Amino acid sequence: MAFGTGGARVRSILVAVAGLVALPATVAQTAVTSKLADLSLEELSNIEVTSVSGRVQSLQDAPASIYVITGEDIRRSSATSLPEALRLAPNLQVGQLNAAQYAISARGFNNAIGNKLLVLIDGRTVYSPLFSGVFWDSNDVMLEDVDRIEVISGPGGTIWGANAVNGVINVITRTAHATQGTLGVVSRSGDRGYEAARFGGSLGEAGHFRIYAQAMDRNNTQRADAFERPDAASKRQIGFRADLGRPGDGLTLQGDLYRGGKEPGINLAPKLRGANLRARWTSRTPDGSPIMLQAYLDRAERDETAVFRNHADTVDFQFSHEPIMQAPHQLLWGAGYRRTRDRNDPSTLLAFIPATRTLAWSNIFAQYQHRITPSVEATLGAKLERNVYTGVEFLPSARLAWTHTPKNMTWTALSRAVRAPARLDREFFLPAQAPYSLAGGASFDSEVANVIEAGHRGFARGASYSITAFHQRYDRLRSSSSTVPRRLENGIEGSISGLESWASWQVSRAWRLGAGYLALHKALRLKPGSSDTSGIASLGNDPRRQWSLRSNIDLGSGGEFDLMLRHVGALPSPSVPRYTAVDARIGWNLKPGVDVSLLAQNLLDRRHVEFNDVAVASQIERRVFLKLAWAL
């Protein structure tokens, strides 16, 4: 198979080049380090550094499987949207469905209506109350202003609540202070592209602000038989952020407004409207303990004639406090309340009954840390979360971390995670009028996962690495009854085990290599009394293996050359062949503030399918973008 040998060839080239470069680079490095000592304090303050990790490092001591995509990683990738940027995380599965829609998951259960991953953009939960998952075509950020994306695979329910069953994605944008000045970005290929502009200014003593606007457009995708799927659409979004006061003691105000899709909308390109407004206040109590209060409003509308006609209005409050404790004890506690009014008018295909429903979630949580010896730390946490369908759910976790040296840590964790029912599980009727073939799931209960994980993170000789093994045991997963009308029930159980690993190696000051590997073993089965033969396949379509390689090279004189190889194993049902995609980027800093780059996606194959039945799925094509970024 052409892709297979292509991948192997590029890999062997990578290894050979690594050998060639490593030697002279180390010699040069010693001389430079020594020269820095002769610079003045001012000169040192003006030296540009290759990696500015800062806060990212503090995640290093969190005993969990965490991968951080930095803003610099995104800039040096061929990503032109948030889902494409998520392909950089080795612990995520990302499959493109059509022009703008994606299936994204961690540790299996990947699906267009995946429901076990919690996604937050600047602390705002973006899942749809319809199915407890994310409509990726509705949620965009200006990529140039992203500070980092923290991807936590494994349960995060104790802090993040129900739905953080298999992972959490935290998209964090840069502060207004860090995005001052004017920036214009244009990125175009033949059939799609985006334009964005941002202006950041000062509010004097009060703080800083930024405003931005962006527009995206995508042409139709094609099936294998060259039939055009009518998923072309465009989207416009504007927003702002103001950071008042000082870091750790101030107020952040933030909001976005978007419109897009088709009119009238169709399933592949629904009409999209949405807005949100968020306020977050952080401070310290008189005794110096950190305190946080956050509130936001969110409206999301998604309209098309055939499937979903959804309007959701959400209000969300959160509070957390970290009281000062006597060493070696630490405590973090908090509470939250969220309320959504969800309206879904019947479409031609299906109905939610009742059409309008108010949902509410409230929670309290506490996490206690105890340093047992200078190098061993235990973390115990629990969250109680109440939802309107199943009442109070208990989400406990226990973690143990052993720090051998400052950057070498072995950890293990036990957690219980829960996916509370969504409207789709309880109030979903097909077709829109009786007689129904599917008539809701009045007794559908929460899905439960008991998870054991162990991992090691280390750093040696310029390379950092992480390896995590996990075993997630599930009970009460979604299935349907065999009698007509069918009803949704909890008839599937089983486990998913696997391995997540990645490494990053700074070969020389100008060259960085990265690699990632993911292995999944699924063992799901019907519970006694259940006979839903298609139930297991509809829970998700996952590869058994996935790996990636990345290379970022500074060519000198402002040139950059970046490569990423991504291999995704075959998907079983429906069957999708494995594929290897190569993305490349050549960047050139023309003069201070002006960058031109050429981004290529799927360089080696003309087209491939990433998800759904190959005969009718969108072919993901080779694309080349020309990108111009201009800062004033």
Residues 6+ apart with CB under 8 A from 526: 479, 491, 492, 532, 535, 536
Phi, psi of 502, rounded to the nearest 5 degrees? -155, 160
Phi, psi of 343, rounded to the nearest 5 degrees? -120, 125
Closest contact distance (angstroms) between CB of 154 and other proteins is 20
Closest contact distance (angstroms) between CB of 28 and other proteins is 4
Closest contact distance (angstroms) between CB of 55 and other proteins is 7
Alpha-carbon distance of 509 to 49, in angstroms, equals: 10
Q: Which is nearer to other proteins, 54 or 391 (CB)?
A: 54
The answer to whether residues 182 and 632 touch, using CB atoms and an 8 Å cutoff, is yes
Q: Which is nearer to other proteins, 44 or 349 (CB)?
A: 44
Closest contact distance (angstroms) between CB of 395 and other proteins is 22
Residues 6+ apart with CB under 8 A from 210: 145, 176, 179, 180, 198, 199, 200, 201, 240, 241, 242
Residues in the chain: 632
Pairing mode of beta strands 579-591, 93-96:
unpaired
Nearest to 106 by CA among 62, 59, 66: 66
Q: Is the peptide bond before 431 cis (omega within 30 degrees of 0)?
A: yes
The answer to whether residues 106 and 93 touch, using CB atoms and an 8 Å cutoff, is yes
Phi, psi of 242, rounded to the nearest 5 degrees? -130, 130
Closest contact distance (angstroms) between CB of 532 and other proteins is 36
Write out 460-508 in H/E/C secondary structure: ECCEEEEEEEEEEEEEEEEEECCCCCECEEEEEEEEEEEEEEEEEEEEE
Q: Which is nearer to other proteins, 493 or 583 (CB)?
A: 583
Closest contact distance (angstroms) between CB of 245 and other proteins is 12
Q: Which is nearer to other proteins, 48 or 435 (CB)?
A: 48
Alpha-carbon distance of 487 to 491, in angstroms, equals: 11
Q: Which is nearer to other proteins, 156 or 440 (CB)?
A: 156
Closest contact distance (angstroms) between CB of 595 and other proteins is 13
Q: Which is nearer to other proteins, 288 or 435 (CB)?
A: 288
Q: Which is nearer to other proteins, 25 or 432 (CB)?
A: 25
Q: Which is nearer to other proteins, 322 or 345 (CB)?
A: 322
Closest contact distance (angstroms) between CB of 332 and other proteins is 8
Closest contact distance (angstroms) between CB of 603 and other proteins is 7
Closest contact distance (angstroms) between CB of 563 and other proteins is 8
Closest contact distance (angstroms) between CB of 510 and other proteins is 4
SS3 423: helix
Alpha-carbon distance of 353 to 415, in angstroms, equals: 34
Nearest to 298 by CA among 528, 139, 485: 139
Q: Which is nearer to other proteins, 49 or 434 (CB)?
A: 49
CA 231 to chain centre: 23
Alpha-carbon distance of 363 to 394, in angstroms, equals: 10
Q: Which is nearer to other proteins, 175 or 481 (CB)?
A: 175
Bridge partners, 312 (sequence order): 300, 342
Q: Which is nearer to other proteins, 435 or 606 (CB)?
A: 606
Alpha-carbon distance of 154 to 142, in angstroms, equals: 27
55 DSSP 8-state letter: G
